[in-house]
Amino acid sequence: MAKSLCFKLDEAAFTIKLYQYGKDNFEVIYGLQVDSGLTYGRAAAKLGAAIMHSLACEQKLDNREKGER
């Protein structure tokens, strides 16, 4: 399977992309950070973390832990 762009988010502070290279073989790019050779589960976690981090940086969500001021 050739490299296939599955998801792209340009509205974030840094572009977020998800690529698939084949069965259970993914890559997540968030700004300059590139995580490749990921399983479906790891790619889902990395993609979610990138989206959540971007939202926190844009002050669209509060990422403090309970008890943190």
Q: 52 — phi, psi (to 5°)?
A: -65, -45
pLDDT value of position 68: 87
In a domain, 8, yes or no: yes
CB 16 within 8 A of CB 50: yes
In a domain, 69, yes or no: no
In a domain, 14, yes or no: yes
In a domain, 68, yes or no: no
pLDDT value of position 2: 85
Boundaries of domain holding 49: 4-57
pLDDT value of position 12: 83
pLDDT value of position 34: 98
pLDDT value of position 39: 98
Domain count, the chain: 1
Residues of the chain whose pLDDT is less than 70?
A: none
What contacts 6, CB < 8 A, 6 or more positions away? 18, 19, 20, 26
In a domain, 38, yes or no: yes
In a domain, 66, yes or no: no
